[in-house]
Amino acid sequence: LSSRLQGFGTTIFAEMSALAVATGSINLGQGFPDYPGPPEVLEVARAAIGTAADQYPPGPGIPELRAAVAEHVQRFGGHAYDPDTEVLVTAGATEALAGALLALLEPGDEVVLFEPMYDSYAAGIAMAGGVARPVPLRPPASGAGPWTFDPAELRAAVTPRTRMLVLNTPHNPTGKVFTRAELGVLAALVMEHELLVLADEVYEHLVFGGARHASIATVPGLRERTLVVSSAGKTFNVTGWKVGWICGPAPLVSAVRTAKQFLTYVNAGPFQPAVAAGLRLPDEYFAGIARDLEYRRDVLVRGLTDAGLPVVSPEATYFATVDVRPVQPDGDGVAFCRALPERAGVVGIPTVVFYDPAHAHLGRHLVRFAFCKGDAVLGEAVQRLGRMT
Ligand code: PMP
Ligand code: GLN
């Protein structure tokens, strides 16, 4: 393993999914739904197989999908991006993120981001030769309310070497939705230090109750410095399709396109018209998936609470975070997750893996559970957790 990738062995998702299979446990670790996507989307993919769509699509993505992405972004409050120069189709959000980091960072450039952080950011920054400067999000002291950050800590993380802010909202794993006021604080810092912004918004539609997703790209002044990333995986329950996209000003998208040419060149043809059809579904589809997941959130949050695990109810995403200390006296979330198949027949993800090793103490006692599971599986998981030994 190269020096750039030291410390990034096997991802926790692979390890915990393998543990779930090996022990016959219910997998509430890796975030993927166990129910299918909308039939009209699946049908387009089926019909495309065996046609010219099976051969290399155009490098930036098929024009129909780029147009659908641009329309969809604008319909849900984003900018009007030019489908030809300001939209790029990628192999999932993961390639969009890695491509942007590889295309835009110089070795030694620093990237400010919030932790816990999705695991591909630190690895992507490291592969690009950059340095991650994580700023902690802290859970609400009383157990209810949003996770918050300290603007002074954020400011202190910015140095003359800082090149970029990576912002994930709605946020995995905490379920936090950054407010307009918080985006304003971030935007002021970005403008002051002339940073670029890489905005990961893959959970843009999985938002509950009164919370509202807003893109940092829409804060005045930020369009020209921001790349917005999203993905079909979460919105259409097709995490295995690996179709994502990135939108932004032409010079930045052009840079990412250059990197993408040599990462994957193109990505899966038959899924592209299908995702285009999905992005054109009526508003009610997008409201419906959020309503459905909100119900599942409530089932899991109640179950975790009844099992004696204090939980912060998420405003978005399909993850809930618990504090394991009442049932794991040493407060070790990794040990808790390794033993949970035995204790309850359930698998979760220790949140500590989303922290910089130097800040492990902040997340040591936290564990993430996914609730994007059908009624029977979620109901069984909750019962098992209730019988935890
Ligand atoms: N960003 C976040 C915050 C995620 O949770 C995920 C996970 N699935 C991704 C990016 C990766 O998305 P994709 O599967 O489209 O590559
Ligand atoms: N985004 C999903 C999660 O956070 C899946 C991640 C993965 O498998 N790399 O669980």
Q: Are residues 268 and 319 in the same domain?
A: no
Provide the whole-model pTM: 0.97
CA of 95 to the centre of ligand 1 (A): 10
Q: Is 135 left (phi over 0), alpha (psi -120 to 50) or beta?
A: beta
Query: Digits of tens for pLDDT over the chain (389 positions)?
Result: 999 998 888 888 898 999 999 999 999 999 999 999 999 999 999 999 999 999 999 999 999 999 999 999 999 999 999 999 999 999 999 999 999 999 999 999 999 999 999 999 999 999 999 999 999 999 998 878 899 999 999 999 999 999 999 999 999 999 999 999 999 999 999 999 999 999 999 999 999 998 999 999 999 999 999 999 999 999 999 999 999 999 999 999 999 999 999 999 999 999 999 999 999 999 999 999 999 999 999 999 999 999 999 999 999 999 999 999 999 999 999 999 999 999 999 999 999 999 999 999 999 999 999 999 999 999 999 999 999 98
CA of 362 to the centre of ligand 2 (A): 21
CA of 370 to the centre of ligand 1 (A): 14
- Please give the Cα distance from 91 to 263 (Å, whole number): 9
- Please give the Cα distance from 340 to 67 (Å, whole number): 46
Last residue of a domain, one of 282, 316, 343: 282
CA of 199 to the centre of ligand 2 (A): 17
- Please give the Cα distance from 185 to 181 (Å, whole number): 7
The residue type found at 203 is Y
- Total length of the chain: 389
CATH number for the domain spanning 130: value is 3.40.640.10
| Number of domains composing the chain | 2
- Crossing angle for the helix pair 92-104 and 250-263, nearest 10 degrees? 110
Domain of 379 in residue numbering reads as: 3-37+284-386
- Please give the Cα distance from 70 to 379 (Å, whole number): 39
- Number of Cβ within a 10 Å radius of residue 57: 22
Last residue of a domain, one of 264, 282, 300: 282
- Number of Cβ within a 10 Å radius of residue 145: 12
Based on its alpha-carbon atoms, the radius of gyration of the chain, rounded to whole angstroms, reads 20
The ipTM assigned to this model is 0.97
pLDDT of 7 = 86
Q: Residues lining ligand 1, CB < 6 A?
A: 31, 92-94, 118, 168, 172, 200, 202, 231, 233, 239, 242, 244
Q: Are residues 219 and 193 in the same domain?
A: yes
Q: Are residues 201 and 295 in the same domain?
A: no
- Give the closest residue (by CA) to ligand 2 atom 1: 31
Q: Are residues 22 and 131 in the same domain?
A: no
Last residue of a domain, one of 282, 299, 321: 282
pLDDT of 249 = 98
